[in-house]
């Protein structure tokens, strides 16, 4: 969930002067698709999942292109089409094709372009495909032609396949998880693109293209082990600005990769771009080695336990309150369906939670039919609802819940109508549509008081700031679902050979593949 940041968070310095032979006001197209989608979630992300921006609305999505900013006037910007979705299940192939066709048509109708800002996440799974961004990059490149410089902005949970690498010229990704620098990263991609276009090329478009040193690192870790606030990720990411200060380097980036798709491209990557072949090769291989050597040191950002273990702590006499339990396997902001019933089923079977001696809040499951039935019954009525597991029936199917309707709230943009059903002190939120619960107001608007609850259970991974502040204590529960944090029990079958921890005995060479797009060979 990204808020629009304040202007002061935008950090790039002034553009370099226009060199002789450089382009004073290049034409730059903008387009892309941004989603991370789990192939382990049965949820399908269709047209309704995407916000598609075009034209002025798309340009306004990038405040660094607002009128008056240096970048705004440094190019003729041509915003085409961009689709963005919350994380979810794999994308419907028709939905993908429609967005891709719209981007390609925009390029053909409004080109030619000197540059292209390719704004993607990098972990889009499309049903029937194994490298959606590689496919999209190829289509964009074919439409643009060979001379257009493509600069790509990505999430560090994206993957850099060979196809993607070969079609674009510049690649960068976030350096912070949580992604506080999401907009800075997009600005950096645009800034680097302009710098290349303004530089001298002597009339030779090939010279504008930087060299790329690309090193796949066969390690695949869940996001909850790779927060850049903690070592070893913090130290690895701290290398990048230092590398960029070296002569002959344009950008240095590290991708953690996306753990919840079963595709051969899913692993970590290091890419350093620039003009000095020796330096970018050396630095990319050095950081890749650092990552590989640290692979066993990545640990969960919080105490983890099974749900039973988390409940034992939350129910103990001296437990701090409110005690927050993260139901991490079905986290909708990582791609979980959001209607896995396993955890709620376990809670309903606990006498201590339903006997009225404690206040427990559970956020949430979505089920439009259960919501409709509750609305028909009305607040205060006792009903039996069948809820959840319509998308992901997981280890438990739909649940029968008999309880009293505590509240009904209409009109939430994400959730639609929301119902709270109380079974003793166990208050479960059922929403019409999928919604992540990150803020205390998400609870308060339903008449719930999280600060005075004993236990709060949320489908989330690491706690978002308000929940983190709420929690007197908390446990990341390793629950089942489409984004199960226990990767080894998910059953990946299509990863590349030797990826840790699936294959703990690997010993990769970690040799950079170095080249410039269009050169005869990509080999070093």
Residues at the site binding Zn ion, with contacts judged by CB under 5 A: 155, 157
CB of 92 to Zn ion, least distance (A): 22
Structure tokens at 139: 């289509």
Shorter beta-carbon distance to Zn ion: residue 185 or 192:
185
Phi, psi of 131 (to 5 degrees): -150, 75
Strands 473-477 and 304-305: parallel
The residue (of 157 and 198) whose beta carbon lies closer to Zn ion is: 157
Give, to the nearest 10 degrees, the angle between helix 93-110 and helix 132-144.
20
Cβ closest to Zn ion, residue 181 vs residue 454: 181
CA dihedral 99, 104, 105, 107 (to 10 degrees): 130
Minimum CB distance to Zn ion, residue 334 (Å): 8
How many alpha carbons fall within 13 Å on the CB side of residue 446?
A: 30
The least distance separating Zn ion from the CB of residue 173, rounded to whole angstroms, comes to 9
Closer residue to Zn ion, CB minimum distance, 227 or 479: 227
* 283 or 330: CB nearest Zn ion: 330
| Residues 40, 43: Cα–Cα separation, whole Å | 9
Least distance (Å) from Zn ion to the CB of residue 369?
A: 32
- Phi, psi for 142 (deg, rounded to 5): -60, -40
Please, what is the minimum distance in Å from the beta carbon of residue 125 to Zn ion? 14
Radius of gyration of the chain (CA): 24
Of the pair 157, 435, the CB lying nearest Zn ion is at 157
End-to-end Cα separation, the chain, in angstroms: 40
- The encoded tokens of residue 366 equal 């979505």
Tokens representing 95 are: 């939905």
Tell which residue, 478, 479, 503, has the closest CA to residue 493: 503
Cα separation, 269 vs 499, in Å, equals: 12
In the complex, what is the shortest distance from the CB of residue 468 to Zn ion, in angstroms, rounded to a whole number? 18
Smallest gap from residue 481 Cβ to Zn ion (A):
18
Return d(Cα 376, Cα 451) in angstroms, integer: 30
For residue 84, give both structure tokens.
């963005």
For the stretch 496-500, contacts whose Cβ atoms lie closer than 8 Å and that sit 24 or more positions apart, written own/partner, are 496/216, 496/218, 496/264, 496/265, 496/267, 498/218, 499/218, 499/219, 499/220, 499/266, 499/267, 500/218, 500/219, 500/220, 500/295
Nearer to Zn ion, 2 or 16 (CB): 2
Q: What is the smallest separation between the CB atom of 179 and Zn ion, expressed in angstroms?
A: 6
| Nearest distance from C-beta of residue 483 to Zn ion, angstroms | 12
CB of 407 to Zn ion, least distance (A): 33
Nearest-CB residue to Zn ion? 157
Residue 244's nearest CA partner among 233, 236, 252 is 252
Least Å distance, CB 80 to Zn ion, is 24
The smaller minimum CB distance to Zn ion, of residues 180 and 486, is found at: 180
Q: Which is nearer to Zn ion, 328 or 360 (CB)?
A: 328
Nearest-angstrom CA–CA distance, 80 and 83: 10
Angstrom CA distances, 407 to 65, 421, 432, 440, stand at: 44, 7, 14, 17
Cβ proximity to Zn ion, 334 vs 389, nearer residue: 334
- Which CB sits closer to Zn ion, 104 or 156? 156
């Amino acid at each position: 969930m990204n808020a629009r940041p304040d202007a002061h968070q935008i950090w790039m310095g002034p553009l370099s002067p226009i060199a002789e032979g450089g382009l004073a006001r290049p034409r730059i197209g903008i387009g892309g698709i941004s989603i991370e989608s789990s192939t382990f979630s049965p949820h399908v992300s269709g047209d309704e999942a995407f916000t598609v921006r075009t034209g002025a609305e798309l340009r306004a999505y990038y405040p660094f292109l607002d009128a008056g900013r240096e970048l705004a006037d440094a190019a003729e910007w041509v915003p085409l089409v961009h689709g963005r979705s919350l994380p979810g299940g794999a994308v419907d192939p028709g939905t993908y094709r429609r967005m891709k066709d719209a981007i390609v048509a925009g390029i053909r109708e409004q080109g030619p372009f000197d540059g292209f800002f390719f704004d993607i996440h990098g972990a889009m799974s499309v049903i029937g495909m194994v490298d959606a961004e590689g496919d999209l990059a190829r289509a964009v490149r074919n439409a643009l032609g060979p001379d257009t410089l493509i600069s790509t902005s990505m999430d560090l949970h994206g993957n850099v396949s060979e196809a993607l690498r070969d079609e674009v010229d510049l690649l960068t990704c976030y350096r912070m998880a949580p992604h506080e620098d999401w907009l800075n990263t997009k600005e950096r991609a645009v800034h680097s693109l302009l710098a290349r276009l303004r530089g001298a090329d002597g009339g030779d478009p090939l010279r504008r293209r930087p060299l790329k040193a690309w090193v796949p690192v066969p390690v695949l870790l869940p996001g909850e082990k790779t927060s850049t606030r903690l070592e070893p990720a913090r130290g690895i990411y701290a290398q990048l600005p230092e590398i960029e200060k070296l002569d002959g380097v344009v950008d240095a980036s590290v991708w953690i990769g996306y753990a919840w798709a079963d595709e051969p491209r899913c692993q970590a990557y290091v890419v350093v771009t620039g003009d000095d072949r020796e330096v970018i090769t050396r630095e990319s291989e050095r950081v890749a080695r650092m990552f590989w050597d640290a692979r066993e040191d990545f640990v969960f950002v919080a105490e983890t336990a099974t749900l039973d273990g988390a409940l034992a702590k939350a129910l103990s006499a001296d437990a701090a309150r409110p005690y927050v339990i993260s139901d991490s396997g079905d986290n909708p902001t990582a791609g979980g369906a959001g209607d896995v019933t396993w955890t709620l089923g376990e809670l309903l079977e606990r006498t201590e939670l339903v006997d009225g001696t404690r206040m427990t809040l559970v956020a949430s499951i979505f089920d439009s039919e259960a919501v409709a039935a509750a609305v028909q019954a009305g607040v205060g009525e006792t009903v039996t609802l069948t809820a959840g597991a319509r998308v992901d029936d997981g280890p438990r199917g739909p649940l029968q819940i008999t309880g009293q309707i505590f509240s009904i709230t209409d009109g939430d943009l994400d959730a639609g109508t929301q119902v709270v059903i109380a079974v003793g002190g166990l208050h479960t939120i059922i929403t019409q549509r999928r919604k992540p619960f990150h803020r205390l107001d998400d609870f308060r608007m339903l008449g719930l008081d999280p600060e005075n609850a004993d236990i709060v259970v949320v489908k989330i991974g690491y706690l978002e700031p308000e929940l983190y502040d709420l929690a007197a204590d908390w446990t990341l529960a390793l629950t089942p679902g489409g984004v199960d944090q226990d990767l080894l029990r998910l059953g990946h079958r299509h990863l590349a050979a030797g990826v840790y921890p699936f294959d703990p005995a690997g010993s990769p060479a970690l040799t950079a593949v170095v080249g410039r797009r269009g050169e005869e060979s990509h080999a070093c």
